Amino acid sequence: MTYRETNISVSLASSLLVMGYYLINWLPMYQDEGLNSAVIFRLWVITIVATIILNILGNILTSIVLSIAHAIKTQSDVEPRFVEDERDKLIELKGSKAAYIAFSIGVFLSMLSFAFGQPPLLMFSLIIFFSIAAEITSDVLQLIYYRRGV
Amino acid sequence: MEKYRVQNNIRKLRFYHGEMTQEALAEKAGVTRQTIIAIEGGKYAPSLELAFRIALAFGVPLEEVFSYTAEEESG
């Protein structure tokens, strides 16, 4: 697995973790007592902050682990070159496009829920859900492109 | 309409250049080894610039490395 693939896999794992946390907390709240603004705002903040922190930590840890693995493999202290070439950029671009489309559809569906009389809190909850789902879509698609070819 | 695809002779050229490694070719072309593997396996069609850089690495004209040929019909 290359540096980029490892990075994407870590990002995918962290997004799935955040998505799991979000759904586990959000679904019972929605089904049982309805959406309470004080509690839901807290959940949104935790979700967004956790996404940012996990992504940064994931990137740092991946770089450290891969650098150590490279040093052990080559028996030298020369830093590995994590080059990003045109294929990486193309795959990243395609992933971003997929994320953009997924998020746009998500925002549209969220607004539809509001148009059909659902509370605004549900709309914003859905937008956050679809933003994480878009990130997951992008990561999965990028991994597929790396495996099957562009 | 007939389907065309980019094919390459990278494996053969590497052999003729003293079994040049994919890593060495990647270094000369300024890309990662994974990209060379993908191009060699027909999973990625490089940009024109990269195609020229690969040809330059072997010291041969572009058409000796890449060709644009019709896909064979199966069945």
Element (H, E) at A23: helix A3-31
What region, left, alpha or beta, does residue A76 occupy, with left being phi > 0 and alpha being psi -120 to 50 degrees? beta
CB contact under 8 A, A86 and B46: yes
Residue to mutate among B44, B49, B50, B52, with most A CBs inside 10 A, is B44
Residue A116 has pLDDT above 80, yes or no: yes
ipTM of the complex, rounded to two decimals: 0.83
A21 pLDDT band, cuts 50/70/90, is very high
Q: Show Cβ contacts of residue A45 under 8 Å, excluding neighbours closer than 6 positions.
A: none
Alpha helices for A32-85 (secondary structure H): 37-74
Using a CB-CB distance cutoff of 8 angstroms, which residues of chain A are in contact with residue B37? none
| Other beta carbons less than 10 A from residue A129's beta carbon | 18
pLDDT for res B56? 95
* B44–chain A nearest CA distance, Å: 6
Q: Are A146 and A91 in contact (CB under 8 A)?
A: yes
Compute CA A90 distance to the chain's CA centroid, rounded to the nearest angstrom: 19
CB contact under 8 A, B34 and A150: no
Structure tokens belonging to residue A18: 């955040």
CB contact under 8 A, B31 and A87: yes
**Which one of B41, B42, B44 has the shortest CB-CB distance to A87?**
B44
CB contact under 8 A, B35 and A150: no
Q: What confidence tens digit (pLDDT) does each residue in B6-49 have?
A: 999 999 999 999 999 999 999 999 999 999 999 999 999 999 99
CB contact under 8 A, B44 and A150: yes
**Sign of the dihedral defined by the CA atoms of residues A141, A142, A145, B1, in that order:** positive
Query: Nearest-CA residue of chain B relative to A148?
Result: B43
pLDDT for res B1? 76
CB contact under 8 A, B42 and A88: no
pLDDT for res B35? 93
SS3 category, A106: helix
Using a CB-CB distance cutoff of 8 angstroms, which residues of chain B are in contact with residue A87? 31-32, 34-35, 38, 44, 46
pLDDT for res B75? 46
pLDDT for res A79? 66
**In this structure, what DSSP letter does residue A62 have?**
H
Structure tokens belonging to residue A17: 């973790």
How many CB contacts within 8 angstroms connect chain A with chain B? 34
